[in-house]
């Protein structure tokens, strides 16, 4: 039995990829009947479960009528697009999933563009047909238009279509068919996706391009890829070359693992076309080729899109540094980030000029936020600057260029005015506005990426949490000049100590507070937002003057307004250039980069001059 299909499931965020894979796994009999399986079982890491999104692409494998189908679940969020780009190299086919109510959205366009470019012929699945607001006919037309816009070939345009409800576990070729199970989808995969095994390739010496790299506390470095030629066996001696053809290392395959459902099990051999994981190598990483020492042919890896947004990360130097984290030195941060950049192709890390911080560039706030959150849980303490969009210079004219995005918002009609206004304030231009479904409008804009940094939070407030905002990078255009920063100034602590109810109560008329009584504060730390545009130095640790007269007692138990709490991503986009976010495993604090008020004043004067 050597028949293999390799297929990736791609879609916009939340269109139901991971849920569909649950149903595929259970209906192909991959789980034991008494096995207790979590919902969205492929979203296996903590952050994925907490946020309900897929962050890393992951492979699974199932059997259908003696054919092994390797399925790759991919993330739908644009920030993790690099994962999708790389994974598409490993498969021969893709299932393009589209929500029957929402239709194609920006990330649908992105993943389809990448898939078509690689010459894949996707199977289109219109999912969530069970939704009451589904509009499959229109959606199908929109999908067809999208294929045309993206210059699909005749062959690609002739895509098969299935209708499905992944959550209810059925797929049909025709909506009049009985909605029973996923058999029609499996049959379509066998029929439409190309056979991955080839006798001819299998008879050549072994070679495999590494697509993902992860760490296992037990096995060490685990490298996953699809075997291009030959057969891999445990204990085989191999050499690893990078994309330039330089030798990275030579070594032995200690363990050869194949995917079986949600597990990886050791196997004695695997042949060309199969997707496997290899343990035992020490230096090999993503985009390197593992091969039999008798050959030296590097398999080319497609380059991925460059990063667009950067933050600087340095060691935490606040007065409270080192109290909550175990990894606080710059050296540790450096090693950790370099290791990340090596395996995570969509992130780049460079040393700053002053050699005291690292510039970490990625695709977006969410991706960088997830990286910081992960490091935080590993025990790191960090000091982070506001995300900055990466500019480019036009090689011919020398003008400064900045990234632009196509922005799509779906909002209730009532909020469309507010959203148009706030996006125009962020220099976005409206290009289209049309009704979409009952009482909702879809508005399209083109605007600078800079304007979108931190907008998501404001957008959710403006639409009372009902709006959907999506954007996709659409190229570089001449820079639009300076943006106005945050409207309000901040309240800065002048003292170190613990927040006191009395002191905080007295600050309430000045603005919204970020701290509660008992929170540790220090000089230069930001404790709230000022109601006016300037910064204000305040004392949050001030106690009530005690006198020897007994007070009436009524002002002793002061009632404070609830503080404004920020998530990591909100904090990052809230701060200005002269401010930092201090992150420890337990706390997120905002602070001025320069803590001493006199030094701060001097520095800002220097800047103005
Ligand atoms: N009505 C309906 N909802 C569904 C269906 N499939 C999934 N959902 C819901 O859609 C949401 C997103 O599902 P996921 O499977 O996490 O989507 P995803 O495409 O993997 O999302 P990302 O990995 O974050 O891109 C969940 O709340 C699911 O319950 C379906 O067939 N019908
Ligand atoms: Mg998912």
For 42-53, how does the pLDDT look when each residue is reduced to its tens digit (9 = 90+)? 787 888 888 888
pLDDT of residue 33: 63
Q: Which residues contact 528 (CB under 8 A, 6 or more apart)?
A: 490, 491, 507, 510, 511, 512, 513, 514, 515, 538, 564
Q: How many angstroms separate the alpha carbon of residue 10 from the centre of ligand 2?
A: 9
Confirm whether 448 is domain-assigned. yes
DSSP state of 454: T
Q: Identify the CA nearest to 9 among candidates 82, 91, 64.
A: 91
pLDDT of residue 239: 92
Q: Identify the CA nearest to 86 among candidates 54, 109, 118, 61.
A: 118
* H helices present in 130-182, as ranges: 136-149, 154-157
For ligand 1, whether the C-beta of 16 sits within 6 Å is yes
Q: How many angstroms separate the alpha carbon of residue 75 from the centre of ligand 2?
A: 6
Q: Which residues contact 92 (CB under 8 A, 6 or more apart)?
A: 5, 6, 7, 120, 193, 194, 196
pLDDT of residue 32: 65
pLDDT of residue 34: 64
Structure tokens at 21: 């894979």
Which atom of ligand 1 is nearest to 12's Cα?
Answer: 25
For ligand 1, whether the C-beta of 81 sits within 6 Å is no
* H helices present in 238-353, as ranges: 330-343
Please state at what angle helix 330-343 crosses helix 365-377, rounded to 10 degrees. 130
Residue nearest to atom 13 of ligand 1 (CA): 16
DSSP-derived 3-state class of residue 324? coil
415 and 266, same structural domain? no
- Please list, residue by residue across 461-492, b when 16 or more beta carbons sit within 10 angstroms of its beta carbon and e when fewer do: ebbeeebbbbbbbeebeebeeeeeeeebbbbb
Please state at what angle helix 136-149 crosses helix 106-117, rounded to 10 degrees. 50
Residue 542's CATH number: 2.40.50.250
250 and 131, same structural domain? no
How far is 582 from 358, CA to CA, in rounded Å? 15
Residue 424's CATH number: 3.30.70.240
Residue 162's CATH number: 3.40.50.300
DSSP-derived 3-state class of residue 246? coil
15 and 149, same structural domain? yes
Residue nearest to atom 11 of ligand 1 (CA): 14
Give the bridge partners for 276, in sequence order. Answer: 225, 258
94 and 75, same structural domain? yes
Q: Identify the CA nearest to 139 among candidates 188, 287, 131.
A: 131
Q: Which H or E element spans position 422?
A: helix 416-425
Q: Identify the CA nearest to 225 among candidates 87, 57, 82.
A: 87
Give the end of a domain, one of 242, 259, 291. Answer: 291
Give the end of a domain, one of 273, 291, 309. Answer: 291
Q: How many CB atoms lie within 10 A of CB 458?
A: 13
HEC per residue, 257-296 = EEEEECEEEECCCEECCCEEEEECCCCCCCCCEEECCCCC
Which atom of ligand 1 is nearest to 22's Cα?
Answer: 15
DSSP-derived 3-state class of residue 28? coil
For ligand 1, whether the C-beta of 108 sits within 6 Å is no
Q: Which H or E element spans position 231?
A: strand 231-232
pLDDT of residue 334: 93
Confirm whether 333 is domain-assigned. no
498 and 467, same structural domain? no
Give ion ligand 2 contacts, CB < 5 A. 17-18, 54
pLDDT of residue 548: 67
206 and 171, same structural domain? no
Structure tokens at 74: 């991919």
For ligand 1, whether the C-beta of 221 sits within 6 Å is no
Output phi, psi for 236, to 5 deg.
Answer: -65, 145
How far is 118 from 320, CA to CA, in rounded Å? 51
Confirm whether 98 is domain-assigned. yes
How far is 492 from 595, CA to CA, in rounded Å? 9
Confirm whether 179 is domain-assigned. yes
Q: Identify the CA nearest to 520 among candidates 315, 316, 324, 313.
A: 324
Q: How many angstroms separate the alpha carbon of residue 508 from the centre of ligand 2?
A: 43
pLDDT of residue 238: 93
- Residues 23/166, Cβ–Cβ less than 8 Å: yes
How far is 565 from 513, CA to CA, in rounded Å? 9
For ligand 1, whether the C-beta of 167 sits within 6 Å is yes
Structure tokens at 522: 């220090």
pLDDT of residue 456: 81
CA angle at residue 355 from 388 to 403, to 5 degrees? 20
Please report, for residues 14, 95, 451, the alpha-carbon distance to residue 186 in angstroms, rounded to integers and kept in the order given.
Answer: 22, 11, 44
For ligand 1, whether the C-beta of 19 sits within 6 Å is yes
Confirm whether 373 is domain-assigned. no
Output phi, psi for 89, to 5 deg.
Answer: -65, -20
Give the bridge partners for 9, in sequence order. Answer: 73, 95
- Helix, strand, coil: what percent of the chain each, to 5? 25, 30, 45
Structure tokens at 24: 């595929």
For ligand 1, whether the C-beta of 17 sits within 6 Å is yes
DSSP state of 354: T
Q: How many residues does the chain have?
A: 609
User: In total, how many domains does the chain have?
Assistant: 4
439 and 400, same structural domain? yes
| End-to-end CA separation in angstroms for the chain | 76
For ligand 1, whether the C-beta of 128 sits within 6 Å is yes
Q: Which H or E element spans position 85?
A: helix 81-87
Confirm whether 63 is domain-assigned. yes
558 and 471, same structural domain? no
Give the end of a domain, one of 429, 449, 478. Answer: 478
286 and 233, same structural domain? yes
464 and 556, same structural domain? no
HEC per residue, 37-60 = CCCCCCCCCHHHHHHCCCCCCEEE
pLDDT of residue 123: 94
595 and 525, same structural domain? yes
235 and 155, same structural domain? no
What are the residue ranges in the chain where pLDDT is below 70?
A: 1, 31-35, 437, 546-557
pLDDT in tens, 461-517: 888 888 888 888 888 898 887 777 788 899 999 989 888 888 888 888 898 999 988
pLDDT of residue 441: 87
The whole domain housing 159 covers 3-192
How far is 375 from 336, CA to CA, in rounded Å? 8
Confirm whether 357 is domain-assigned. no
Confirm whether 525 is domain-assigned. yes
* H helices present in 426-582, as ranges: 455-462, 501-507, 568-574
């Amino acid at each position: 039995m050597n028949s293999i299909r390799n297929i990736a499931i791609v879609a916009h965020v939340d269109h139901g990829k991971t849920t569909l894979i649950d149903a595929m796994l259970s209906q192909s009999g991959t789980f034991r009947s008494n096995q207790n399986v979590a919902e969205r079982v492929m979203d296996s890491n903590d952050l994925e479960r907490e946020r309900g999104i897929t962050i890393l692409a992951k492979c699974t494998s199932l059997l259908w009528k003696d054919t092994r189908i390797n399925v790759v679940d991919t993330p739908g969020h644009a920030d993790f697009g690099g994962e999708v780009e790389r994974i598409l190299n490993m498969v021969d086919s893709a299932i393009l999933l589209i929500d029957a109510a929402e239709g194609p959205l920006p990330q649908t366009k992105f993943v389809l563009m990448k898939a078509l470019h690689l010459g894949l012929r996707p199977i289109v699945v219109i999912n969530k047909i069970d939704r009451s607001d589904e509009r499959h006919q229109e959606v199908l037309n929109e999908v067809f238009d999208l294929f045309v816009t993206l210059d699909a070939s005749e062959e690609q345009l002739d895509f098969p279509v299935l209708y499905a409800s992944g959550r209810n576990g059925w797929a049909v070729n025709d909506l009049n068919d009985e909605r029973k199970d996923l058999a029609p989808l499996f049959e379509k995969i066998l029929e439409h996706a190309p056979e991955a095994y080839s006798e001819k390739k299998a008879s050549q010496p072994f070679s495999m391009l590494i697509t993902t790299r992860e760490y296992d506390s037990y096995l060490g470095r685990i490298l996953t890829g699809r075997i291009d030629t030959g057969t891999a066996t445990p204990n085989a001696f191999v050499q690893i070359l990078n994309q330039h053809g330089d030798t990275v290392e030579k070594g032995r395959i200690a363990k050869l693992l194949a995917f079986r459902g949600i597990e990886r099990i050791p196997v004695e051999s695997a042949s060309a076309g199969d997707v496997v994981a290899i343990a035992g190598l020490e230096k090999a990483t993503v985009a390197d080729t593992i091969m039999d020492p008798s050959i030296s042919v590097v398999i080319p890896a497609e380059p991925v899109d460059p990063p667009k947004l950067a933050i600087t990360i340095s060691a935490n130097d606040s007065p409270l540094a080192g109290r909550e984290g175990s990894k606080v030195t710059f050296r540790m941060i450096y090693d950790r980030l370099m290791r990340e950049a090596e395996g995570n192709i969509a992130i780049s890390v460079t040393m700053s000029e002053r050699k005291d911080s690292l510039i970490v560039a990625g695709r977006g706030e969410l991706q960088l936020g997830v990286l910081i959150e992960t490091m935080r849980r590993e025990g790191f303490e960090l000091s982070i600057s506001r995300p900055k969009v990466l500019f480019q210079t036009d090689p011919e004219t020398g003008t400064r260029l900045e990234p632009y995005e196509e922005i799509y918002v779906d909002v209730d009609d009532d909020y469309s005015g507010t959203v148009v206004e706030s996006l125009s304030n962020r220099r976005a231009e409206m290009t289209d506005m049309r009704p979409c479904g009952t009482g909702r409008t879809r508005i399209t804009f083109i605007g600078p990426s800079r304007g979108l940094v931190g907008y998501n939070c404001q957008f959710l407030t403006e639409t009372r949490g009902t709006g959907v905002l999506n954007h996709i990078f659409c190229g570089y255009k001449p820079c639009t000049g300076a943006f106005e920063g945050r409207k309000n100034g901040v309240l800065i602590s002048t003292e170190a100590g613990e927040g006191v109810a009395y002191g905080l109560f007295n600050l309430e008329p000045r603005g919204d507070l970020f701290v509660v009584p008992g929170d540790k504060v220090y000089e230069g730390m930001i404790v709230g937002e000022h109601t006016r545009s300037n910064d204000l130095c305040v004392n949050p640790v001030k106690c009530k003057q005690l006198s020897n007269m007994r007070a009436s007692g009524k002002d002793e138990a002061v009632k404070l307004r609830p503080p404004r709490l920020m998530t990591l991503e909100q904090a990052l986009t809230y701060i200005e250039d002269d401010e930092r976010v201090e992150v420890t495993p337990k706390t997120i604090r905002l602070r001025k980069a320069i803590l001493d008020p006199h030094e701060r004043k001097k520095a800002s004067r220097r800047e103005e001059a």
